[in-house]
Structure 1
């Protein structure tokens, strides 16, 4: 099954190896930034929150520029320096000793991270044909989660708040892992150059820009779907899920950690099976199902809030079950969303399409955490549950409304036969 999911071209396989190894480094540090800034470096909770929020805001602001540069100069010339900048910023976190230095380092990291994801998606699209992209994007997501899981387990055994050097170590190791995909890309000199559709001139390739992307009615509907789904789904995991589980269901932080671990395990174990099931089936139908799974996950979490501390074991099981159901939905979203984005994209604007798709998560990542806290504090979290469940179901309806706008090939219901994009130096 794994062999079937692997891309045909060896260059794409090497890119996936880079994803796995760099994700291990990301997993080393992902759970600990807030704790590191506050408990180790002495920043107040509000200041640490501002630093993290600043990183997200700068990344979001620079993402459109990243897409433009990818289309104009090729993903290679954008991703390589971004990986190096991100490595430098991550390593510099080990030296942070004040609020000012934390903001400076966060800015450097945001500059580096602003175009990496959209650039790598563009590179994978250039190395795969339309028929295998969905499988490759799904495998890429599974490897990302596997790496993060391995890194998280490793750092959990290393870090100690009483020993700042342990945190410095994991940030330096994370920085080193960013160099791995950079070295892999350097070893593939023919990969990641500017893509120009057959018969297009340089003038045509640069014409239109984001206005052309936004005039694409099916893609515009996909963006609206993505904003609703991620605002009521992904963006609620970091704050909404944790806050509801601890404050309303009153489970321990350890149960939340078990839930996140179960989420990762579900993704790693189920992704390949889901990919096989999705082949030849409607992508919009799969996206509608994602909304259903996310809604079901939040309903189960709502049950944890209803039973509360009086039935602690049941509440804990509901929290873990919520994370697992949510993870299963992720295994459907992760391959379909980028595959559909690139099915709608043209070669000359592929970087911008992928940048806009990445921006969905950035925008919802600002809206979700800001709204989750006040909503969970009202009516014992019932209003929050009702809104996120309703939002996920509304996203399902938006996905179904997209189907008539797509061809059978774009929707994944018919084999797509498109020539491999031709790289232009």
Structure 2
């Protein structure tokens, strides 16, 4: 099954290897930034929160520029320096000793990360044909989660808040892993160049982001993504954790088990899901994602109702919620980028991917801000109702998108020919 999911071109396989290696480094540090800034470097909770929020704001603000630069100069010329900046910034976290230095370092990291995801999505699109992109994007997501899981297990055995050097070590290791995809891209001199000469003329002929926003099917897809991620992904970091601990009254260790269950579910079921959804309607798959996410939140809500009386049942509910959520992710991860690139033109592919990645940035600001007040009202019941209802609304939006797509774009009919974009080295 794994072999069938691999891209045909060896260059794409090497790009996927870079994803896995950098994800291991990301997993080393992903759960610990807040703890590192507060318990190791002595920042107050509000200041650490501002630092982390600043990172999200800078990344979101720079993402549109990243998409423009990708279309104008090619993903290669954007991703390579961004990976280097990200590596320097991540390694510099080991040297943070004040609020000011933390702001400087996370700004550097945000500059680096602002275009990496959209750039790598564009590179993968340039190396794969229409009929294999959905499989490749799903495999990319599975490798990302596998790497994060490996990194998280490794760092969990290393870090110790009483020994700052352990945190310094994982940030330096994370920096090294960001160099791996950069080295792989450097070894592929013909990969990642501009996809169309029309995109290099400053975007005058293409219309830039105005043209992207005038694309009615893509605009509907963006609305779907904003609703789904605001009520889904964006709730994991704050809403899920806060509800589990404060309402369901489980321990933080149970939350860690739940996140582990989420990762295991994704790694074990992603390839099977890729096979199941191949040749089927992408819009129906997206609608089903909303239903699955809603079911996950309902299970969590049930855990909150029984939590104070039955700790074991509450813990099982929290873990089950995360596992169900991961199952929904295995449908969303291959379909969303595949549909985005099915709608995109070569001249604007970078901007389309940048807009798609901005969905997560915008919802990442809205979700955490709204989760706290909603969970604090009516013992979290209002929060549960909002996120469940929002996920179901996203399902309706996804179904409304189907009439706007061709059968090929919707994945119901195979592409007539191999339409792998051919880069120009200009």
Instruction: Give the whole-Å Cα distance in 2 for the aligned partners of 1:142 and 1:313.
Output: 30
Measured in 2, the distance between the counterparts of 1:359 and 1:32 equals 24
Give the conservation status (yes or no) of the 8 Å contact 2:19–2:143. yes
Which residue matches 1:48?
48
Q: Tell me how far apart the structure 2 counterparts of residues 136 and 117 of structure 1 sit (CA, whole Å).
A: 15
The alpha carbon displacement at 1:419 in A equals: 2.2
**2:221 is the counterpart of 1:238:** no
Map of 2:61 onto structure 1: 61
Give the aligned partner of residue 303 of structure 1: 302
Q: Deviations over 1:237-263 (max 9, x none)?
A: 000000000000000001000000000
Seen in structure 2, the aligned counterparts of structure 1 residues 143 and 101 have a Cα distance that, compared at 3 Å, is same
Tell me by how many angstroms 1:309 deviates: 2.1
Q: Distance in 2 between matches of 1:359 and 1:391?
A: 19
C-alpha contact (below 8 Å) 2:261/2:319 kept by paired residues: yes
SS across alignment from 1:195: coil
Cα shift at 1:201: 8.8
Larger mean CA deviation between 332-341 and 305-314 belongs to 305-314
Verify the 8 A CA contact 1:196 1:205 in the aligned structure 2: no
TM superposition score normalised by structure 2: 0.98
Give 1:382's aligned residue.
381
Kindly indicate whether the alpha-carbon contact (under 8 Å) linking 1:66 and 1:355 is maintained by their aligned counterparts in 2.
yes
- Taking the TM superposition and a 5 Å limit, the aligned residue runs for 1:16-95 are 16-95=16-95
Residue of structure 1 equivalent to 2:151: 151
Q: What's the counterpart of residue 225 of structure 1? A: 224
| 1:404-415 correspondence runs (5 A) | 404-415=403-414
Residue of structure 2 in register with 1:392 after alignment: 391
Aligned pair count reads 424
1:85-128, Cα deviation, whole Å (9 max, x unpaired): 00000000000000000000010000000000000000000000
**1:247-288 deviation per Cα after TM superposition (whole angstroms, max 9, x unaligned):** 000000010000000000000000000000011000000000
Give the Å deviation of 1:73.
0.0
Q: Specify the SS of the correspondent of 1:140.
A: helix
Cα offset, 1:205, TM superposition: 7.3
The structure-2 alpha-carbon separation of the partners of 1:69 and 1:200, relative to structure 1 and needing over 3 Å to count, comes to closer
Mapped partners of 2:200, 2:361: distance in 1: 33
Partner of 1:195: 195
Q: 1:163 to 1:394 in 2, by over 3 A?
A: same
Q: Deviations over 1:307-363 (max 9, x none)?
A: 012111100000000000000000000000000000000000000000000000000
Instruction: Give the unaligned 5+ runs of structure 1.
Output: none
Distance 1:204 1:110 in 2: 25
Map of 2:363 onto structure 1: 364
| Structure 2 unpaired stretches of 5+ | none
* Residue 170 in structure 1 maps to residue 170 in structure 2: yes
TM-score scaled by length of structure 1: 0.98
What corresponds to 2:255 in structure 1? 256
> How far apart are the structure 1 equivalents of 2:333 and 2:57?
23
